[in-house]
Structure 1
Amino acid sequence: MSWNESRDCCRWDGVTCDLLNGHVIGLDLSCSLLSGSIHPNSSLFQLHHLHTLNLAYNDFDYPSSIPHNIGQLMNLRHLNLSWSHFSGKIPKEISYLSNLVSLDLSSFYGYGLQLDERTFETMVHNFTNLELLSLSFVNISSPMPMNVSSSLRYLDLGYTNMRGVLTESFFLPSNSLETLKLSDNDLLKGVFPKTHLSNTLLMELDISGTGISSELPHSIGTFSSLNILNLYGCQFSGSIPDSIGNLTQITELLLSYNHFTGHIPSTISKLKHLRILYLSDNSFSGEIPDVFSNLQKLRGLDLSNNSFTGPFPASILGLTHLEYLDMSSNSLSGPLPSNQSMLQKLTSVDLSYNSLNGTIPSWVFRLPLLSSVSLQHNRFRGLAEEVIKTNPTLKQLLLSNNQLSGSFPQSLVNLTNLETLGISSNNITIDEGMNITFLSLSSLFLSSCELKDFPHFLRNVNTLEVLDISNNKICGQIPNWFSGMRWDSLMFLNLSHNSLTGHLPQFHYYNLQYLDLKFNFLQGPLPSSICNMSSLILLDLSHNYFSYSVPHCLGSMALLTVLDLRRNNFTGSLPPLCVHSTSLSTIVINGNQFEGPVPVSLLKCGGLEVLDVGNNAINDTFPSWLGTLEDLQVLILKSNKFHGPISTCQTKFCFPKLRIFDLSHNDFNGSLPAKVFGNFKAMIKLEGEDTGNIKYMESMSDSPFVTSYEDSVSLVIKGNDIELQRISTIMTTIDLSSNHFEGVIPKTLKDLSSLWLLNLSRNNLRGDIPMKLGQLSMLEALDISWNRLTGKIPQELTRMNFLAFLNLSQNHLVGPIPQGPQFNTFENDSYGGNLDLCGFPLTKKCGMSDSSHVPQQLESEEEGESYFFSGFTWESVVIGYSFGLVVGTVMWSLMFKYRKPKWFVEFFDGLMPDKRSRPKKRAQRRRT
């Protein structure tokens, strides 16, 4: 408003003029809500006498580049264009400004200011007077300059993709640096200087998120001027030296997310100016020293995720300025101190995941500014007997997984402003007559308690967003008052693992995102109101008795990610899923009565990871078109009416991420297609793949309080049908058992080197066992029983060092059983039905004949005999048996009547060869 042409421009806001000649030498338009962009020919660049230009914290249009004409302002001493949405390449002309004393081009993350390596080198060379350089979030991607200007006092190159190795000389006392920020350049390596640097001027050192590592040297104590030391998320190890106590001027010490070990040195008590102490996510152990009485300026203390033991340090209660306290995920034990707390400014306390016990003292709830208390996963048995007065600031209280018992604690009733209350996994009951009023309650967790009914006080709550009353003893129908509640904000509802019966009522929670009703006794059709829940992300109705067809509207829910209907009585055809939705990642309908084909609409489920349609009555051929779904990891079609051969995909990449492939118990036929197995790239162990880090498939939740849905499947593992509650990302299985596959076992299976389970049993496979199957070094279970395999067991199979289950029974295998570390652990039933196998663990020794095995001994006899026996079929056996029964009956009658007539005996003696001559004749035939 002051920029009025009728006034002298030297009086305008943000304009500074030289008092002697009237030239404009300063222009400060920071935080002025400027928008648009700077034109290359702007009159701004005619201000040749300008010493200072500050355009920081404005809102220039994106993308808006820094004009090349910036190089015309040769007299500039101070240039600040930070945080104003500039993007693109920083012009090389900026390096012409050799008189600069300060330059700040800091950018917002992701806005893409770029500085090429040559321009950066020129700037470092030309800016000999530079004292301040801030380029945070500018993409430089250059080596770290070792010879920075000796005049530099402030250097911020955080988030710039710098690389290289820092040497000790970078920290030498001759350097005038007071502030050095190199955070989040993970390609920047080096070690901390071990040289004593008593003359250093460094006051702030931030190398967080870099690759700088090694142990923290004793020389750290020589950085006596340090106010801030930030080593967050580096690779430091070893213990903290006692010399840390020499940093008497330090205000912030951040050592979280490293590999530090040992104890906290007691010398830390000397740091009287300390305001922030973060030591979380390391491997510290031992008791926490009770030395906090001297740290009266401490505002934030984080010791979480370590291995601390012993009691809670009582001296913490005297920190009058402490605002944030986190000691979670340790092994602290014993009760909390009951003496009066001085934590009058504390807003958040987290002591969860420890072994604290006893009674929760009343001071925890009486602190005037406290908004969040997290004490879950401890061993607390009760709360203080005193009735807690209303605390208007307490918003979040988490007491789950303790040993609280009895009725709902009366001392919590007065916390009327609570927004989040968690008391799951306690022996808590809620009396119907209790007067509980939580007017602002948004999240309530009461799972795994002793509830026998829906909490009646919920009738007075209209603000719920999250409700979890799962795994209780609630039985009967869902009451009308509950289903009739108008919870317009309710997003998460979990009633699973109860004993609910009857039909599912018409819910009116139209903003619901997560609905979990699994493991109940609900029945009947799904209500039409399910179609009005257009925001559903997860729908889990598994393990109930729902019946009738599934509403087609489920295929129109644009946000639906998880659909789990397993173990119900649904009938009819599969709904056309993904007709208007492409968000589905998990579809599980196992254990119903669905019929018809697999809907082709699944082709639109571009993000589908799990498809389990097992144990239904689906009648279809192999849906090879599913191979175009590039994210599909689990495909289970078992126990249906699928038929025909396994056809190959028409696309170049087919099932590229498939890891669980189960077609068992169907009517598939034809040969096993080697080409299909060759497409299973996810079953091939790639070089550099980290198989030691086991992760599990899950659909993530955006809510920090809502448990993620974990994908689960039922597989036949080592001969047993086992339901896996979680699917690890390293589990790879192929189960084609109980079909009508023919031909040989494809040799391409050898390439699936990360395969964990292979089951080809109960088919009509022929030929030898491929010796190259021995290359499946990760295989733990192999079942190829009940086929028509011949030949010897390959010795190469003994290379399978992880093989824990083997079934080769009911084939036509011959020869000795290979011996090896794993093979020596298998018992007889792994080889049963192979009459010509020998060796351990069988009782039959190799090289010895077995007179009881007559059919095999006759193999070398005349061709006529072999041909005669090979002609037997089940039909001929039945006919012969019937005829023989009649003849035998007549003969028996004659013998009984005539007392073994001589003609009968002579007739059959003539047919049978002399017993004494049999061995001689047989030996003669063998020699021939």
Structure 2
Amino acid sequence: MQKTMILSILHILLLLFPNAAKASIGIGIGVGIGIGTGNGGVGANTPLPSGSNLNNAYTALQAWKSSITDDPLKILDTWIGSNVCSYKGIFCDTSETPFVAGIDLNHANLQGTLVKELSLLSDITLLHLNSNKFSGTVPDTFKDFTFLQELDLSNNQLSGSFPTVTLDMPSLVYLDLRFNNFKGSLPEELFNKKLDAIFLNNNQFSGEIPQSFGNSPASVINLANNKLSGNIPASFGFMSSKLKEILFLNNQLTGCIPQGVGIFTEMQVLDVSFNSLVGHLPDTISCLQDIEVLNLGHNKLSGDISDVICSLRSLLNLTVAYNFFSGFSQECSRLFNIGFDFTDNCIPGRNMQRPSPECSVIPDVNLNCLRIPTPKPLVCGTLASRASNFKYTNIHSSSP
């Protein structure tokens, strides 16, 4: 209970500082308050009660300080003495038994590594290290962060395979690894965790998206600018209907857009651009009544763009450029003034389209995409229950 209260207080502090930023589309800005002085109203000369928590914190932070090779903003000049709660970027709870509750060193431009001794800070609930120059790997000892709820390691130079130690943090809800040099496959367990936000964009992850993808309860997932291949898992249509943003852009994905996309009635951003997706658009896209940005550009999609898609009530930007679409309805014309890019398709009578020879051979036009049966006419409110029943039936029919 106390750890939850501390995190709530830190979140209030986040709102009071101008460097606080919401997790946003494809941008490497983490949630944080920038570089601050330790909280709790404790000054540099204020004595603190002795205790193992602060002794461990002193050991951890001094070990980390020794590993940092460049500190252009002179942050670490304040990391002197045993009163760790006076260090810049360190936030303490000083009631009863004092402990370090959070670390926020966003935009400190520190260069160094993450040392194993940091795990001695076992009570922290928030670790924000956005926009530094930390290199190396994430220590396995980070599994001791049993109370950590937010981990932001974005905009660094970290490398190695996916840091599976993050999957051993039982309280984690926000994971931000974007803009690093991580590579290799994504673990199945990642999407089984109770994470609300998953930011993995701008790394070098490869291989197929795990079939466990549909188990994720996250509201925001960003997989953009990696080397992921294969199909978007069919389980995509079984995810939490609370999903608001999903970005697959600039990978090597193939196959179709799953029909189950229609269950995401609260989705605001869907970006599958710069892949090799094929086939016609599923009619269930018409159920995305909260969608604001729909980017399908730079794929191999074909068919017509129907009026039910262009009439989506919240749509602000529709990009279908560099595909093989052969037409769009009059309703789509209303989007010209707010954002509708249909260049380099195969639409007769329109400017800036593909040359005719390219349109004579449409990629995988006969591909039979797996579709969840939907009612005719389409009733969007029934999709979630149908998808749920479809998933339940398939799981139990495959049981021994």
Select which of 301, 306, 309 maps to 2:183. 309
Letter in 2 for 1:276: E
Q: Does 1:189 align with 2:85?
A: no
User: What's the offset of the Cα at 1:398?
Assistant: 0.3
The one-letter code matched in structure 1 to 2:74 is K
Indicate conservation of the 8 Å contact 1:205/1:228, yes or no.
Answer: no
Task: Specify which of 216, 222, 239 is matched with residue 350 of structure 1.
Answer: 222
Aligned residue for 1:458, secondary structure, equals helix
Once the two structures are superposed, residues 268-318 of structure 1 have per-residue CA deviations (whole angstroms, 9 ceiling, x without a partner) of 121111111011111111101223333232121110011110011322223
2:247 to 374, 388, 404: 374
Which amino acid counterpart does residue 191 of structure 2 have in structure 1?
A: L
Q: Say whether residues 1:265 and 2:150 are aligned partners.
A: no
1:470 Cα deviation after fit:
2.2
What is the CA–CA distance in structure 1 between the aligned matches of 2:284 and 2:210, rounded to whole Å? 19
1:339 shift after superposition: 2.4
Change in CA separation of 1:469 and 1:391 when aligned onto 2, cut-off 3 Å: same
Task: Give 3-state SS (helix, strand or coil) of 2:212's partner.
Answer: coil
Q: Which residue of 1 aligns with 2:268?
A: 395
Deviations 1:544-569 (A, max 9, x none): xxxxxxxxxxxxxxxxxxxxxxxxxx
- Where 2:100 maps in the other structure, the secondary structure is coil
**Residues in 2 aligned to 1:266 and 1:280: alpha-carbon distance in whole angstroms:** 18
1:202 aligns with 2:76: no
Query: Residue 150 of structure 1 is aligned with which of 43, 46, 54?
Result: 46
1:333 is matched with 206
Amino acid at match of 1:326: F
Task: Write the letter of the residue equivalent to 2:353.
Answer: N
Counting helix residues as a fraction of each chain, which structure ranks higher? 2
The residue that corresponds to 2:353 in the other structure is 498
Distance 2:184 2:302 in 1: 32
1:204/1:229 contact within 8 Å kept: no
- 2:108 and 2:241 mapped to 1: Cα distance? 37
Q: Counterparts of 1:105-120 in structure 2 under 5 Å?
A: none
- 3-state SS of the aligned residue for 1:421? strand
- State the secondary structure of the residue aligned to 1:317: helix
Are 1:439 and 1:460, in contact at CA under 8 Å, matched by a contact in 2? no
* 1:425 aligned to which of 288, 298, 303: 298
Instruction: Determine which of 338, 342, 346 is the counterpart of 1:465.
Output: 338
Q: Which residue of the partner structure matches residue 62 of structure 2?
A: none
Distance 1:240 1:350, change over 3 A: same
Note if contact 1:234-1:258 (Cα within 8 Å) is conserved in structure 2.
Answer: yes
For residues 400-419 of structure 1, the aligned pairs below 5 Å read 400-410=273-283, 412-419=285-292
Q: How does 1:904-919 map to 2 (within 5 A)?
A: none
Q: Tell me the TM-score normalized by structure 2.
A: 0.63
Preserved CA contact (<8 Å) 1:387 1:410:
no
Asked if the contact 1:385/1:411 (under 8 Å) is kept, the reply is: no
Instruction: Calculate the TM-score normalised by the size of structure 1.
Output: 0.29
Q: Is the 8 A contact 1:201 1:225 kept in 2?
A: no
In 2, distance between residues paired with 1:261 and 1:108? Answer: 28
Per the alignment, residue 248 of structure 1 pairs with 122
Work out the CA distance in 2 between the residues paired with 1:245 and 1:316: 21
Shift of 1:330: 0.6
Cα 1:383–1:416 change in 2 (3 A) is farther
CA contact (8 A) 2:203 2:226 kept: yes
1:438 maps to 312
Q: Quick one: distance in 1 between partners of 2:58 and 2:306? A: 73
Q: CA RMSD in A?
A: 3.7
1:457 Cα shift?
6.5
Paired with 2:234 and 2:86, the residues of 1 have a C-alpha distance of 42
Equivalent residue, structure 2, for 1:318: 192
CA 1:249–1:207 in structure 2 vs 1: closer, same or farther (change >3 Å)?
Answer: closer
Q: Could you say which residue in structure 2 is the equivalent of 1:846?
A: none
Deviation at 1:230, TM superposition (A): 1.2
SS in 2 for 1:438: coil
Is this contact kept in 2: 1:278–1:301, CA < 8 A? yes
Q: Which has the higher contact order (CA 8 A, sep 6+)?
A: 2
Which whole-Å CA distance do the structure 1 matches of 2:224 and 2:152 have between them? 17
Please state how far the C-alpha of 1:414 moved relative to its aligned partner.
3.8
Q: Report SS of the residue matched to 1:235.
A: coil
Could you give the per-residue CA deviations for residues 632-661 of structure 1, whole angstroms, max 9, x where no partner exists? xxxxxxxxxxxxxxxxxxxxxxxxxxxxxx
Whole-Å separation in 1 of the counterparts to 2:214 and 2:348: 44
- C-alpha contact (below 8 Å) 1:347/1:372 kept by paired residues: yes
Aligned residues: 293
Distance 1:192 1:227, change over 3 A: farther
Residues 263 and 324 of structure 1: is their aligned pair in 2 closer, same or farther, counting only changes over 3 Å? same
Q: After the TM superposition, which residues 798-809 of structure 1 pair with which residues of structure 2 at under 5 Å, given as runs?
A: none
Cα gap change, 1:172 to 1:440, in 2 (>3 Å): closer
Larger radius of gyration: 1
Structure-2 separation of matches of 1:429 and 1:244: 52
SS in 2 for 1:277: strand
The unaligned stretches of length 5 or more in structure 2 are 1-15, 19-39, 50-56, 60-70, 92-97, 356-400
Post-superposition offset of 1:475: 4.6
| Amino acid paired to 2:173 | R
| 3-state SS in 1 of match to 2:119 | helix
Q: Does 1:456 align with 2:339?
A: no
